[in-house]
Structure 1
Amino acid sequence: MSNQDPSFSQDQQKEILSKYDKESGSRELTGLLAKIVFFGLLAFSLYQLWFTVFDRLPAQIHRPIHLGFGLGLIFLLFPATKRKAAKGKLSWYDYILSVLGIGVGAYWPLKYNELIQNAEISQMDFYVGVLAVVLILEATRRAVGLPITIIAALFLAYAYWGRQMPGFLVHRGVDLDNLVQSMYFTTEGILGTPLAVSSTFIFLFLLFGSFLVKTGVGQYFNDLAVTLAGKRTGGPAKVAIFSSALQGTISGSSVANVVTSGSFTIPMMKRLGYRKEFAGGVEAAASTGGQLMPPIMGAAAFLMIEFIGIDYWTIAKAAAIPAVLYFTGIWIMTHYEAKRLGLRGMADEELPDRKEVFKKLYLLAPIFAIIFFLASGLSVVMSAFYGILTTIVVGLLRPERFRKLYIGTFVGGAVAYPVVKLVTDGGIPEAVISNSLVWGAMVTILVSYLFDGNFKDSVEALVDGARTALGVVAATAAAGIIVGVVTKTGLGLKLANSLVDLAGGNLLLTLFFTMIAAIILGMGSPTTANYVITSTIAAPAIILLGINDLPAHLFVFYFGIVADITPPVALAAFAAAGVSGGEPIRTGVNAAKLAIAAFIIPYMFVLSPELLMIDTTIPRLIWVLFTALTGMMAIGAGMIGYWYRKTYWIERVLAVAAGLALIYPNIVSDIVGLAGFTALIAAQFLYKKDMIGQPVIKPTKQEA
């Protein structure tokens, strides 16, 4: 079964991706230049793998090399303007900028001893530092987009013109030499935490995702989702939710997730009877939720490790229940919408062969393997590395190749044994000679890997992974500028104090103002960048009021992500509208309505961290999960206007109120919420006719 509707071509996917996702808008190169870029990307990945295994370089050498690779390749792959992209050719200045980017990255390794010994930078250092900042801003504009570029530039301006700032924003100012030194010649600016995480954790997990794609996991997610959810009421919508939740384990982009899975699910939803805007909204909301789903969480989990100073597994566990509630909320609302419209599930002929799908469950082995590695206490970096090796093994052991590999291994071992015996002439113990069978098997596996398509797949995965990482390199370098200015000027604390003062010290009002700030700051920014910005500027306001770091950081992370589906700048929703043909703002409104859980749950886990599995017991956790899921059912009914029958406006208000009471983890609110929930169900069954005695639901013809 294809993962793409035949009416929606690869070219159309690329067009929408390049329009709404800057990181996907790279040039299509040909000839010698294409080969140079190919080997440059391959070298980038191989260097990162070498560093992961051996880790022999200090941060001040490794991070600039990582940055140099990124800058050099970005200027070759990403055009300065859309007009240049249409021509598909490089301008003379692209070559110069690429060489300068490589030079900036090489400067630290070449002058390492001199730079770490000198307290002040030289005139040459100053020029290189200025060049580094300018190149990073331009690379970020090309590969990520204007929003984060403008924010980083404004922060630089704020640092320099601090004395002219009004009110609480005023500071003594940072002279140009000092600013350049802090930006590129310390580990508190461009070479700081964001780039450190990009050059270790994030790059490897992007490689892991790229290897998974090569094993066919992306296609398999769709087939598995259709098999498990396709026949249910409103099947395609539930396929979109299930598939997007799975895609979130390997994808770092809401927009890319929308276009990849949406090109398959949105046309199916439209054929079934969902409105264009609703179909696009389902896919946008579900795809955005992929960023909230452990284990990868759009790479933000790895930034949290460094920013908060806690282990990865604690973050993943904390994020699990909110992510489940998020997807449950969307699932419930699409179910009620399908019931309201009288929509069926998919027909048998539209479903893939169930047996064939379940035969390929082994494709999920790398995902379970990486979760096992992380849970067992292995470092995040090595877990990603072993996850990549697992995908290679899974590729080798595909059923269509396994028989050939098995026979080859047996033959290789059988041949190796007498050869070793003859060569050694009995001079090596029998136990060692018997190991020749193992060596023969290893040789056969290696030969199979090199000549049976796996090696080519692996090389392409290395190249694709590095290409995907380029936007992250630029975004995290620009985010480092923001973090560096905040550190130098104390701006984060000033903004936090201003938010708290504006709210009069009230926690709920502070959370509300922080939510608005996080949504605005997150508009148009990729996951990694918007988390760095929101955690630096918005999270301190919550922490000032005595909230623990983890709930505060997850709060701003959620709303930074939700910006992708919150009008007026809702990139994921606009991309979904591009696929569905619907009106973009209405698609965004539908997506925001479906993702209502993402607007509620963060408040709940800040007010009661039990939802994050913090300071709770298993019985209490089970109860909290039960009441929260029940609450999502009630809220879904209130938002859609249908439960077992059509709901009247007063029932909708009461349903939302009962749902909120159930989600909030408090015994009194739980009792009130359960009472309201029970009363509403009773009313649904007691009054099955509307006021004029006609059947409540009349399926209407929807636009296809």
Structure 2
Amino acid sequence: MADMAQTEGRQVQEAADLDAEGIDRNLPRGLATGLLIASALYAVFHLTVLNFWSIDEWVYRVIHVNMGAVLAFVGIRAWRGERGWVALPDLLLIAGAVWCSVYVAANLDMLIMRTGVMTTPLDFLCGVVGTIVVLEFARRVAGPVLPIIALVFVAYVFVGQWLPGILRHSGFETDNFFSFLYSQDAIFGMTVAASSRYIILFVAFAVFLEASGAGEYFMRLAMMLFGAARGGPGKVSVFSGLLFGTVSGSAVANVVASGTFTIPMMRRVGYPRENAGGIEAASSSGGQLAPPVMGAGAFIMAEITGIPYSEIVVAAILPCLLFYTAIYLTVDLEARRLGLHGIPRSELPKPRELAGDVFLLLPLAVLLYLLLSGYSIIAAGTWGLAATLLVLLCRELGFRSRVLALPLCLFVALPLTGMQVNFAGAIATAASAGLMLVLALVRGQATRLPGVLATMSRTTFTGLAETARKSLQLISVMACAGIVVGVLGLTGLGGRFSSVLLSAAGESQALAFILAMLISIVLGMGMPTTAAYAIAAAVVAPALQQMGVSALAAHLFVFYCAVISAITPPVAIAAFAGAAIAGGKPWPTSIKAMRYGIAAFVLPFMFYTSPEILLQGDWTETAHVFVTALVAIYLIAVAGEGQLFGRANPAERIVAAVAALLLLWSSLATDIAGLALAAILLGWAWHRSGRATAPLAGDRNHP
């Protein structure tokens, strides 16, 4: 038993290492405590600036990146085999990060006028040192892939004047280039703007939501709904991936969070190792497609495109439903093929128990209500975060979750009176906390209150420190992606790349989209979704928009590609994490993950051929497109798993795939043809299954 536990622990650690969030140093107690305090203060600084303290945007972004880098240089090893504490190179990098921050803050007015145009020697030095800090920050925390790509783009600035064809540019002065790079036009541009406003806030929300018990509730809810079904643990994995994934920007983190529970369950009922790891990888990666947070993707997309957040979230609803329906159907048909059963109902949570704990979802309810009511993303995230503290207090005091009905009513009702949302949120939080403390006194818990408040303080402190630690990867990659985006804008390569993509595709829009998908997936391999999306948005999305695709459809297309790059070989990091937990082989697991997530490779093409799926247009057309797409994804599952009223033969699977493609193309002619093929296939399969099970005439007289 102990050996099994050690093996499982090692597998989980191997999976977590694939997230490339760096390896923490074993620091002396005093330095480790100081790092925790600095990390918590870093998170508090962001929450304060976002809600109460107004400072210059450029200075804020510089502090956001450089102080995050300082935390990484102290707390994270420079390389895997490193021994010892903070070394001289780390101290130099820390000094460089601090100096750059002070220099920008002290010379802000002059820098705004002369950046990239009239560069002084100190401006140049700040640009070089700051760029080195960003590159090493990203390498240490997120791995070498993105820094290498960024260095290639930096090298292109210096050699591009000697390159042929579309790669040629007129050249740039070295000092002006690095001054430009370390400005709001590049490193501190739109990518860092998004991370500085949203990343800390929603990582904090995810950390405290998990601490409040919502993650456990998600898993229990999934178990109650799907655990007893055919192949139940696989379906639990699908549903829990949907719930866990929306608030996290890391596919691997999602796999580790839910896979440590779901994968052993799948193995227990008979799923092969690669299948179990593949199901978890596909469902956990797809969680970032789920509104309202979309792994922070919705906020970053709104920042980059200028499209209202609410429009992005609404547009993402139906594609997300189709994606998870496709995985569910595939898992169901596979369970039928493998003859897998569910978990006995006696081992599952009871509906009455879950109903009693439903108010544990108070933070999500507050977040959704404020977001959909039109309040700012920052206000919604802040008061959703405050609601997690109320849930924690409720649990520490030993109350049933129904006590949380009061804060829910206050968070909903007070803004309706016309009260400013931050004032309303503060009153709702303070009044609810005060009432719970009064109830504790009434129940004779006065002697427990000091211990409860001390526990709350420790939980809040550690949660803030953990927020900073979990944010470093996203902050570093967004800053490093700013280098790529800045070079594309400075050299005009982004526009020329769009022309190349269009000319390569010729008159074929389908080919253009296939090429765009391939390029986006390749750019995203080995990187977090947010960074993959930021780069693809700068490189690929403009080309699609030149073809007449709307900005919303183009950016959702590349966002889907960024998400599925986590399960696409050869660098399918989410699938490799699933394989590590399941003890399976990485490549077969990634192939299985692609099979389960095949809808994500097909659905994005509908954003152009059928924009109604994004709720763009008449509702009757949207309903028509959605229903035909549902039929299509069922046929895709049939083609993939070979199950249709029994085992389907190769010819039936080919017909199912053709019918699915016709329905997804979404024109009247292709819909009619696809539905006709589907009807013929279903009729034939029903007839065939009836013949296979009918008794022979000669057997009717025998028992």
> Is the aligned partner of 1:91 residue 2:87?
yes
Task: Tell me how far apart the structure 1 counterparts of residues 8 and 274 of structure 2 sit (CA, whole Å).
Answer: 20
8 Å CA contact retained: 1:554, 1:602: yes
Look up the match of 1:25.
Answer: 23
CA deviations over 1:182-210 (Å, ceiling 9, x no partner)? 111x3111111111111112221111111
2:553 pairs, out of 551, 575, 586, with: 551
Secondary structure of the residue aligned to 1:401 is coil
Look up the match of 1:14.
Answer: 13
> Is the aligned partner of 1:75 residue 2:73?
yes
Look up the match of 1:576.
Answer: 578
Secondary structure of the residue aligned to 1:397 is helix
Task: Tell me how far apart the structure 2 counterparts of residues 30 and 330 of structure 1 sit (CA, whole Å).
Answer: 47
CA deviation after TM superposition for structure 1 residue 116, in Å: 3.1
Look up the match of 1:211.
Answer: 208
1:374 pairs, out of 371, 379, 382, with: 371
2:489 pairs, out of 484, 487, 490, with: 487
Look up the match of 2:102.
Answer: 106
- Change in CA separation of 1:442 and 1:266 when aligned onto 2, cut-off 3 Å: closer
Secondary structure of the residue aligned to 2:666 is coil
> Is the aligned partner of 1:637 residue 2:638?
yes
Q: Percent identity?
A: 37
> Is the aligned partner of 1:336 residue 2:333?
yes
CA deviation after TM superposition for structure 1 residue 95, in Å: 2.9
CA deviations over 1:138-176 (Å, ceiling 9, x no partner)? 111110111111111111111122212222110011211
CA deviation after TM superposition for structure 1 residue 232, in Å: 0.5
8 Å CA contact retained: 2:357, 2:402: no
Task: Tell me how far apart the structure 2 counterparts of residues 337 and 587 of structure 1 sit (CA, whole Å).
Answer: 15
- Normalising by structure 2, report the TM-score: 0.89
Look up the match of 1:620.
Answer: 621
Task: Tell me how far apart the structure 2 counterparts of residues 438 and 157 of structure 1 sit (CA, whole Å).
Answer: 57
Look up the match of 1:586.
Answer: 588
- The residue identity in structure 2 corresponding to 1:112 is L
8 Å CA contact retained: 1:248, 1:296: no
Moved more, 149-158 or 216-225: 216-225
Task: Tell me how far apart the structure 1 counterparts of residues 400 and 270 of structure 2 sit (CA, whole Å).
Answer: 45
Secondary structure of the residue aligned to 1:161 is helix
- Change in CA separation of 1:28 and 1:320 when aligned onto 2, cut-off 3 Å: farther
8 Å CA contact retained: 2:22, 2:140: no
1:539 pairs, out of 520, 530, 541, with: 541
Task: Tell me how far apart the structure 1 counterparts of residues 615 and 27 of structure 2 sit (CA, whole Å).
Answer: 49
2:292 pairs, out of 290, 295, 300, with: 295
8 Å CA contact retained: 1:159, 1:489: yes
- Change in CA separation of 1:439 and 1:588 when aligned onto 2, cut-off 3 Å: closer
Task: Tell me how far apart the structure 1 counterparts of residues 648 and 368 of structure 2 sit (CA, whole Å).
Answer: 42
> Is the aligned partner of 1:350 residue 2:347?
yes
Task: Tell me how far apart the structure 1 counterparts of residues 143 and 287 of structure 2 sit (CA, whole Å).
Answer: 22
Look up the match of 1:667.
Answer: 668
Look up the match of 2:185.
Answer: 188
8 Å CA contact retained: 1:396, 1:449: no
8 Å CA contact retained: 1:69, 1:102: yes
- The residue identity in structure 2 corresponding to 1:98 is I
CA deviations over 1:624-674 (Å, ceiling 9, x no partner)? 222211211111011111122100111101111222223333333222222
CA deviations over 1:352-372 (Å, ceiling 9, x no partner)? 344323322112221122111
2:390 pairs, out of 389, 393, 399, with: 393
Secondary structure of the residue aligned to 1:21 is coil
- Change in CA separation of 1:620 and 1:345 when aligned onto 2, cut-off 3 Å: same
Task: Tell me how far apart the structure 2 counterparts of residues 365 and 102 of structure 1 sit (CA, whole Å).
Answer: 40
- Change in CA separation of 1:444 and 1:655 when aligned onto 2, cut-off 3 Å: same
- Change in CA separation of 1:343 and 1:442 when aligned onto 2, cut-off 3 Å: closer
8 Å CA contact retained: 1:160, 1:179: no
CA deviations over 1:384-424 (Å, ceiling 9, x no partner)? 11111111122223495338999xx9xxxxxxxxxxxxxxx
Which consecutive unaligned segments of at least 5 residues does structure 2 have? 407-429, 441-448, 697-703
8 Å CA contact retained: 2:247, 2:288: no
8 Å CA contact retained: 1:66, 1:199: yes
8 Å CA contact retained: 2:194, 2:299: yes
Look up the match of 2:613.
Answer: 611
CA deviations over 1:508-527 (Å, ceiling 9, x no partner)? 11101111101110101111
Task: Tell me how far apart the structure 2 counterparts of residues 237 and 587 of structure 1 sit (CA, whole Å).
Answer: 15
Secondary structure of the residue aligned to 1:389 is helix
- Normalising by structure 1, report the TM-score: 0.89
CA deviations over 1:259-287 (Å, ceiling 9, x no partner)? 22111111211221111111111111111
Secondary structure of the residue aligned to 1:133 is helix
CA deviation after TM superposition for structure 1 residue 528, in Å: 1.2
8 Å CA contact retained: 1:74, 1:98: no
- The residue identity in structure 1 corresponding to 2:616 is I
Look up the match of 1:283.
Answer: 280
- Change in CA separation of 1:504 and 1:212 when aligned onto 2, cut-off 3 Å: same
CA deviation after TM superposition for structure 1 residue 622, in Å: 2.4
Count of aligned positions: 658
- The residue identity in structure 1 corresponding to 2:107 is K
CA deviation after TM superposition for structure 1 residue 296, in Å: 1.6
- Change in CA separation of 1:439 and 1:252 when aligned onto 2, cut-off 3 Å: closer
Moved more, 247-256 or 594-603: 247-256
Look up the match of 1:699.
Answer: none
- The residue identity in structure 2 corresponding to 1:176 is T
Task: Tell me how far apart the structure 2 counterparts of residues 115 and 224 of structure 1 sit (CA, whole Å).
Answer: 54
Look up the match of 2:655.
Answer: 654
Look up the match of 1:313.
Answer: 310
8 Å CA contact retained: 1:27, 1:77: yes
Which consecutive unaligned segments of at least 5 residues does structure 1 have? 410-435, 696-704
CA deviation after TM superposition for structure 1 residue 451, in Å: 1.3
Moved more, 479-488 or 682-691: 682-691
1:265 pairs, out of 259, 262, 266, with: 262
Look up the match of 2:319.
Answer: 322
Moved more, 662-671 or 633-642: 662-671
Task: Tell me how far apart the structure 1 counterparts of residues 276 and 360 of structure 2 sit (CA, whole Å).
Answer: 29
CA deviations over 1:278-306 (Å, ceiling 9, x no partner)? 11111111111011111121222112112
CA deviation after TM superposition for structure 1 residue 74, in Å: 1.0
- Change in CA separation of 1:346 and 1:437 when aligned onto 2, cut-off 3 Å: closer
Task: Tell me how far apart the structure 2 counterparts of residues 438 and 269 of structure 1 sit (CA, whole Å).
Answer: 41
Look up the match of 2:301.
Answer: 304
CA deviation after TM superposition for structure 1 residue 56, in Å: 1.0
- Change in CA separation of 1:41 and 1:9 when aligned onto 2, cut-off 3 Å: farther
Task: Tell me how far apart the structure 1 counterparts of residues 350 and 242 of structure 2 sit (CA, whole Å).
Answer: 22
Look up the match of 1:134.
Answer: 132
Secondary structure of the residue aligned to 2:502 is helix
CA deviations over 1:543-576 (Å, ceiling 9, x no partner)? 1111111111111111122111111111111111
Task: Tell me how far apart the structure 1 counterparts of residues 319 and 6 of structure 2 sit (CA, whole Å).
Answer: 36
8 Å CA contact retained: 2:359, 2:401: no
Look up the match of 2:419.
Answer: none
Mapping of 1:42-57 within 5 angstroms?
42-57=40-55
Task: Tell me how far apart the structure 2 counterparts of residues 481 and 663 of structure 1 sit (CA, whole Å).
Answer: 38
Look up the match of 2:527.
Answer: 525
> Is the aligned partner of 1:34 residue 2:36?
no
- Change in CA separation of 1:682 and 1:56 when aligned onto 2, cut-off 3 Å: same
> Is the aligned partner of 1:465 residue 2:467?
yes
8 Å CA contact retained: 1:405, 1:445: no
Task: Tell me how far apart the structure 1 counterparts of residues 592 and 28 of structure 2 sit (CA, whole Å).
Answer: 41
Task: Tell me how far apart the structure 2 counterparts of residues 397 and 657 of structure 1 sit (CA, whole Å).
Answer: 55
- The residue identity in structure 2 corresponding to 1:37 is L
CA deviation after TM superposition for structure 1 residue 448, in Å: 7.1
CA deviations over 1:86-110 (Å, ceiling 9, x no partner)? x463333223322322332232123
